[in-house]
Each structure stands twice: as C-alpha cells, then as structure tokens.
Structure 1
C-alpha cells in the first residue's frame, strides 16, 4: 500500500460544492481553514461536487500551503463538459450551482487522463496524491473495472499520481474492484458505521489481506447519527429513514447517553477503529462544525459503553476493538 499518511480525521469537501444549499466563498474558505487549524491534513474533493466548485475552492486554499504538508484526493470517471444553459437552470444532482457544465461518464484511459488534467487545472496544484474511480457501480461497473482501473494503474506507474482507489456506496462493488486491481485504498461510503456494518463480513477482511487501506465516509448515515438526540424524522442513506432504522438509532443514542457520550462521538470513533481503516473523512458546512467534529474524535469514551452496546445486541462483539 502506497497511500500517504492521511491522519485519523480528514476533510470531506462535498459541502464546498454547495451540497444541498449554497455556501458563499468566505464561509467556504473559513471552513477549510478551520480544518487546517484543527490539524486535518487530508482533503478529499471531486469534479462531481458542485460541478468543479469544490475542487476550485479546495485548491484556492491548499495552494497557499506547503505542498508536502497535505494530501489531496479527487475522483475520476465523470468528465465535466460545457453545457448550453440559457435559462440559468440549476444542477439536478443535489448541488446548488448553475448547470453550466454536464457530467459525462468516461472510464477510458483518455477520459481518466483528461479528468486528472482538468482537476489539476481547477485546483491549481502540481499533483494529485490519490485518485479514486467515482461510483462505477452507478454507471457501469464492468467498464470501470476493465478500463478505468488499468488506466489508473498505468498513471500510478508513470508517477502522475501516488495512489489509486475506488469510491462507492456498495460494499459488493468495492470488493469486486479490490479483487480485480492492485488498489492502494478504497473510499467506503456508509457501509461501516455504528448503525450497520455490512462491509465487515468480507470486504474489510479482504482489504486487510491485500493491504488496501479504507477511507471510511458517510459514517453518520446521511446525518442520522450526526446529533446527540435522534430527531423524529431524519435521512438515512439519502432518503427518509424507515421506522426500524430510526428505532435502532434511538437505541444507540440512549445507550450512549447513559455513559455521558454523544452519539456522534461514538459513531466517529467506532468508524475509525477497525484495523483496515486509515482515515475517517467528514464534511462540514461551517467552521464550527469542524471544531465540533475534531472535539468528538478526541472525546474519551469508556470501554463500558462498547460492552453495553454488545450486550444489548446493538453491536457485534468481534467489532469492538476501540
């Protein structure tokens, strides 16, 4: 595994692409600066996030820092191309930005190379440390494996990028990619959290066996675990949470409260504790959220909490190694 040291906590920059709501440039700059001040040195972005806006904002900040003091990852697979937008339509994929460019899936070697070149131009940086194939299961997993992954291996061999990986919400898709290519790292979204751990069955042991690091993201399951008290209605994996999921989240929160631990702190630290996890990446929409996240990652959590979660059937005993 050739992944640079990422740190236990990383900065996820989807919010800097105006995810769900607009963020002005000053708040974006202050938020990423707060991450740096909190000691974060790993920053993850993608062309998909705000149709390039996130990459531009991340780059505007990181170009002011010594290049060897941080790690940046971005994604490939989606090419951004100019679009005719005479009516001023907004992006339809969750980002509050003008739809002045369109995303086009291109897993070819030429497409991967172009994506990296475009990301370098948007960020203003001289190199990308980690390149992930982004959501191949959403488009064409077979083409992603057969075209994009060999292209990434070639770019790594040429020294154009340091490490390669795949980012996806599907543990099964990530397993297929780990088996098919010589990956350094994967970005696992929402499949190993305090709420549920489907990736623990075979993907995470496979990564340990092959020396593939896991960057764990989506550890709040779309916000369900992001508050000490679970609200009456909350999202779960980008959709309204069903009743049984809400009940499980409330049981987790109640158990945490008995030990004076906030649910988000337990969720963060659990997500970071598996031996295969090299970093947990969390987003933020303002500087205060960064400080709060850093404090939660550093909070003391008594071993008795994990034992209680196991005894109540909320957590498998073999996953408690925090």
Structure 2
C-alpha cells in the first residue's frame, strides 16, 4: 500500500511534486558500485511507497543514473511521476576512461566524460541526449547544473555569459513549446540563484545544502525573494553531506559540504544532538523535516541508495517531533529565530 505524501505546487506551473522526492545520484554509482538489480529494486521501492518526484542528471555516473531512472519510470503512466534532469554538461565518449576507478566521485562503468556547455546549442543538445538516455519522450523539469563560482572559479563569468546569452533562451523555448513544463537551476550556492533571477523567470531552484538544520541564512533575503518571484525550492542535501545523518558521536569522520567537518560545525551538531536526545528525536528526522516548514520549499530530496534506505527515509520523514524540540533549538540559538519550524 502506498503512502499518501502531500504534494506542493512547483512555482506557478501545474506540477505538484511529492514533499519527499528521490535524489538519484546514487543510481549513478556515487562513491560505490550499485548493481543494476539493486538500482531497479531501489527505484521500484520508491515508486511503490508513493514518491512521485525523481531527480537525475547526466553528471551522475556519466549517464548511468539517467538510464536506470528511465528504465524504472518508462512503463508507468505519465501522470504517476514527475521527472527532472539537468543540462550544462555534454557527455562525450572517452576511450581512455579508466572505468575501474572512481571518476568525479562515481564508480561507473560508462566510458564517457563531461564537457561544460551552457550555450543555446549546448542546452538543446543536452536535452535531446537526456531524452535518449532516459528512453522517455517527456521530461518535466530541466535544471541548469552547477553554474556558479563554487564550481567554475575563474571561469564563472565565461560560463554565466554563455548561459545569459544563449542557454536561457533555449530553456525558454523548450518551455514555451511545451517540451518541458518547468525550468530552474541545480546548484549548491545561493549567490548564483540571485544572479540568475536577473536574467529571467525560473520556476524552481534545486538548492543543495544551503537551507538546513545547520544553515538558515537564506531565510533572511533569498527565500522571501523566491516567494515573491513564485520560484519554488527543491531542497537537496538535507543532511549537509552526511553530518546530519550520522551525527558526530560516532567513531567515523563526520562530513560536511563533501569534506571532513570543521570543528565549529562539529560542536554545533553535538549541541543539536543533545537536544535530540532530550526529546527522543532522531537527528536525521529533524534534518529531513525542518526545511519543509518554509513555504518556499516544495520538496526535500535526499539521496536514496538502496531499498532499505528508502524505507528508513520514509520512517524518518513521518517521525513525530514535538514542538518543544524546535523551541529548545531556538532557545539555544541553534536555529535562526525567524526560521519557520514544523508544527
């Protein structure tokens, strides 16, 4: 029997996505191999449990995630799922690829590599290539992947100019023609979202890690700006690269923003963990549920690497958390005073 997840409207579109979504980076063998059978079982578990929103990207396993997600969704009625993938990289054959080693964080057997391209032609080519890899005629949401200084450093201005002068027009044409239903960015930084708002209208930003139980700076200006522009947030990375899932009271090195966590972050998480213990609340449940209290956030999409993780995530998502827990976090100044909390 399926869960009945609440859905929220994405921007001003007619898309209503489940508040718990499926981040499919793991389906591209993120950090470790996942067999085809395990990937199929993981995606089937998410479908069976009632998740209707799936996010993938060419980047994830050099096309492997898209192939697997497409295989899982292909036989479903289209009204049963909403799919996003990403543009900004073209996946090119690489005869010299060492598929026995991690490449860009993925243990993928796919002998391809990525080339950045945010131009008009690059966006159009990426969209068509994704349709082929997915084996699907329809993609609902197209997200521009990894624009911004965090990814491109000194090349940031060049790639943003590519997008501003051509790439955005491609997105606008695809949406206007009905080939896609929503456009946005898929990024890890707020600043690039603010810049993008100056060149066009976006239905959503898939923002990883920047609004979480650890970080609430966007609540002051950026999230209100999103509401004013009818731009929804799809919240990726709710565990901030793992530290809000594992906590800091284990023998393992806690990770934050893809690196070992700095001391000040460890100390803050330790204080949050203590309040979790005081209220018998699971840290990961609090991290998963917190962002959805903000009206700008339409969905939270943790990475889901196996069927057991899908089931556990739904359990965390549905865990009852007392109001006093959130009040204590604010009393201890561990949450921004103006950050909405679940009721």
1:30-69 mapped onto 2 (5 Å cutoff): 30-69=41-80
Corresponding residue for 2:292?
272
| DSSP-derived class of the 1:102 partner | strand
Corresponding residue for 2:39?
28
Corresponding residue for 1:131?
142
Is residue 166 of structure 1 aligned with residue 185 of structure 2?
yes
Corresponding residue for 1:191?
210
Cα offset, 1:298, TM superposition: 1.0
Among 237, 250, 257, the alignment partner of 1:218 is 237
Instruction: Give me the whole-angstrom Cα distance separating, in 2, the residues matched to 1:231 and 1:280.
Output: 26
Cα offset, 1:87, TM superposition: 5.7
Among 67, 84, 107, the alignment partner of 2:118 is 107
Instruction: Give me the whole-angstrom Cα distance separating, in 2, the residues matched to 1:131 and 1:66.
Output: 20
Cα deviation digits, residues 234-279 of structure 1 (max 9, x gap): 1100001011111111111110111111001011110211110011
Is residue 297 of structure 1 aligned with residue 317 of structure 2?
yes
Instruction: Give me the whole-angstrom Cα distance separating, in 2, the residues matched to 1:284 and 1:212.
Output: 25
Instruction: Give me the whole-angstrom Cα distance separating, in 2, the residues matched to 1:87 and 1:178.
Output: 39
Instruction: Give me the whole-angstrom Cα distance separating, in 2, the residues matched to 1:90 and 1:288.
Output: 26
Corresponding residue for 1:4?
15
Instruction: Give me the whole-angstrom Cα distance separating, in 2, the residues matched to 1:169 and 1:141.
Output: 15
| DSSP-derived class of the 1:72 partner | strand
Structure 1 residues 157 and 144, CA gap change in structure 2 (3 angstroms): same
Corresponding residue for 1:156?
175
Corresponding residue for 2:156?
none
Give TM-score scaled by structure 1 length: 0.96
Among 243, 252, 256, the alignment partner of 2:276 is 256
Runs of 5+ in structure 2 lacking a partner?
Answer: 1-11, 153-158
| DSSP-derived class of the 2:140 partner | strand
| DSSP-derived class of the 2:234 partner | strand
Q: Is the CA contact (8 Å cut-off) linking 1:190 and 1:221 kept in structure 2?
A: yes
Runs of 5+ in structure 1 lacking a partner?
Answer: none
Structure 1 residues 230 and 57, CA gap change in structure 2 (3 angstroms): farther
Cα offset, 1:88, TM superposition: 4.8
